[in-house]
């Protein structure tokens, strides 16, 4: 394609991501640099291609001339997609817009089932992390109490302490109920069974386009229970409205159910996730970065708005709890221990084509019959080890033959302080170094060769003076002579 113009639509300077609208000879298209690592981006690129082939309304990827779906440059992945137009946000002030948005979300989740990332992608999954998520939120709510006590002199400290007591108790009660929920049996079905969540689905990333809702910005998709996206959409909408309306909530859930049917177990998890104090944590979590400024300027209005919706929230949840029986029960018979262990995928290769491995092996033409081996009456036994051979020690008078190892081709460079002395007439060679001193005694005979080397425990040779050095040398030579029962060469008595 030929590019005529380029317009920056949005950017993430802190993360390194950006989107451009480019005009080409084949129409308008989108150029996007993904801010995550290439391995993580490969996971979302593969998901987008899978969704397009499954019939989901997501922008199609434009391959390169070589047939690849992305280009890696500057430690980032770059993609080109179709520019879908016209696309307009749905209305936020009436229920019809929310219903359309939830129906589009259900379609997205239904088409994502069965996705397996391409080879080399870094898998992103939150399916097994729900208990840890709740534990993390409870722990951080405890941090808010510590901050309130630390800044007790500020007027908003008392309001924060009372809010923490209320929402911490709610969080612990819901986490306890979640422990007894069918969550463990549901996640035992595995990640491809549930498919992908968008993680940032809302009024801007789901817009009305040709033939329905189109879902954009898929670089954050991950494995998870799909109703996590629905819960975020419902609770954020109720928070923006300032009151929990059962008519809106039921309408949003039913719209999603028509696109992606849910069961009793899924509804129970959805209800528990809505009851958890997610909105309180979302609005107050910024306090940990600059507590004094946050408590002085923002905390009181946030607490007033969050606590004002509590009465309508629990009235709506009490009314919705019985709606679970309006849905069929799911068949979750697996246990979590039955799920095969998932190994991490290897690193991505730059420029590789997306090759999705099959979920199951191809069905053979005819079933194979098991082959039985003949029964052996007397199976052979493993050979037993031979008894160890005892080598007798040498006796006095026996000749000792020792092999000197060959000189190595690569030897360590000797220190500049090394001392080297040679006496060819006596057949002795004394090699010294700065740390170790070795005495090598070699007989001139071709048969008998004896080598004595200094070690840390047995023979030690210290060069304290020239006289003591020679004396020590003579003692070692005599010791060698006693072993060989031959007169040492080169050692003659000195005449006075």
Give the model confidence (pLDDT) of 258-277 as tens digits.
999 999 999 999 999 999 99
Assess contact for 61 and 49: CB atoms under 8 A. Answer: yes
> At 392, is the pLDDT very low, low, confident or very high (cuts 50, 70, 90)?
low
CA dist 275 and 174 (Å) reads 7
Which structure tokens are listed for 405?
């190892």
Nearest Cα neighbor of 163 from 257, 50, 287 is 287
Q: Which residues pair with 77 in a beta bridge?
A: 34, 72
Return the CATH superfamily for domain 1-83: Phosphorylase Kinase; domain 1 (3.30.200.20)
CATH of domain 87-338: 3.90.1200.10
Torsion sign over Cα 49, 54, 58, 61: positive
Q: What is the pTM of this model?
A: 0.68
Radius of gyration of the chain (CA): 40
CA dist 86 and 89 (Å) reads 10
What is the dihedral angle through the alpha carbons of 65, 67, 72, 73, rounded to the nearest 10 degrees? 0
For the segment 300-311, what is each residue's pLDDT rounded down to a tens digit? 999 999 999 998
Average pLDDT over the chain, rounded to an integer: 80
Can you tell me whether residue 79 is helix, strand or coil?
A: strand
The mean per-residue pLDDT over the stretch 358-384 comes to: 45
Q: Where are the domains of the chain?
A: 1-83, 87-338, 420-484
For the segment 162-217, what is each residue's pLDDT rounded down to a tens digit? 999 999 999 999 999 999 999 999 999 999 999 999 999 999 999 999 999 999 99
Torsion sign over Cα 412, 413, 419, 424: positive
Helix pair 264-275, 157-179: axis angle to 10 deg: 160
Q: Are domains 1-83 and 87-338 of this chain identical in fold?
A: no
How many other CB atoms are found less than 10 A from the CB of residue 133?
15
Can you tell me whether residue 329 is helix, strand or coil?
A: coil
């Amino acid at each position: 394609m030929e590019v005529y113009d380029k317009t920056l639509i949005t950017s993430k300077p802190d993360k390194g991501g950006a989107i451009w609208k480019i005009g080409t000879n084949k129409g308008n298209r989108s150029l996007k640099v993904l801010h995550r690592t290439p391995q993580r981006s490969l996971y979302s690129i593969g998901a987008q291609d899978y969704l397009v082939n499954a019939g989901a309304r997501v922008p199609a990827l434009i391959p390169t001339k070589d047939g690849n779906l992305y280009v890696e440059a500057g430690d980032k992945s770059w993609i080109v997609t179709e520019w879908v137009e016209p696309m307009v946000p749905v209305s936020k002030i009436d229920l019809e817009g929310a219903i359309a948005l939830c129906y589009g979300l259900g379609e997205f989740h239904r088409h994502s089932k069965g996705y397996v990332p391409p080879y080399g992608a870094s898998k992103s999954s939150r399916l097994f992390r729900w208990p840890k998520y709740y534990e993390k939120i409870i722990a951080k709510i405890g941090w808010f109490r510590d901050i309130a006590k630390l800044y007790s002199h500020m007027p908003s400290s008392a309001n924060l302490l009372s809010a923490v007591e209320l929402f911490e108790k709610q969080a612990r009660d819901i986490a306890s109920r979640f422990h007894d929920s069918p969550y463990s049996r549901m996640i035992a079905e595995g990640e491809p069974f549930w498919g992908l969540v968008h993680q940032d689905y809302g009024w801007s990333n789901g817009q009305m386009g040709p033939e329905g809702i189109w879902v954009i910005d898929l670089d954050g998709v991950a494995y998870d229970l799909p109703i996590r996206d629905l819960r975020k959409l419902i609770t954020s909408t109720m928070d923006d409205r300032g009151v929990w309306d059962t008519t809106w909530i039921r309408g949003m859930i039913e719209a999603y159910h028509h696109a992606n049917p849910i069961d009793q177990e899924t509804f129970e998890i959805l209800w528990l996730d809505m009851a958890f104090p997610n909105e309180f944590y979302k609005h107050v979590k910024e306090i940990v970065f600059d507590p004094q400024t946050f408590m002085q300027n923002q905390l009181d209005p946030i607490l007033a708005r969050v606590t004002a919706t509590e009465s309508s929230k629990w009235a709506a949840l009490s009314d919705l709890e019985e709606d679970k029986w309006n849905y069929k029960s799911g068949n979750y018979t697996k246990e979590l221990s039955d799920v095969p262990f998932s190994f991490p995928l290897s690193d991505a290769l730059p420029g590789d084509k997306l090759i999705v491995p099959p979920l199951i092996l191809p069905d053979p033409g005819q079933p194979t019959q098991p082959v039985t081996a003949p029964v052996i009456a007397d199976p052979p036994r493993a050979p037993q080890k031979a008894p160890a051979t005892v080598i007798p020690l040498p006796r006095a008078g026996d000749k000792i033959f020792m092999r000197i190892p060959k000189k190595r081709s690569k030897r360590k460079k000797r220190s500049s302080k090394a001392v080297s002395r040679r006496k060819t007439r006596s057949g002795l060679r004394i090699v010294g170094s700065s740390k170790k001193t070795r005495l090598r005694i070699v007989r001139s005979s071709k048969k008998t060769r004896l080598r004595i080397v200094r070690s840390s425990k047995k023979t030690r040779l210290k060069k304290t003076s020239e006289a003591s050095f020679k004396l020590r040398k003579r003692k070692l030579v005599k010791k060698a002579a006693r072993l060989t029962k031959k007169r040492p060469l080169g050692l003659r008595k000195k005449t006075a």
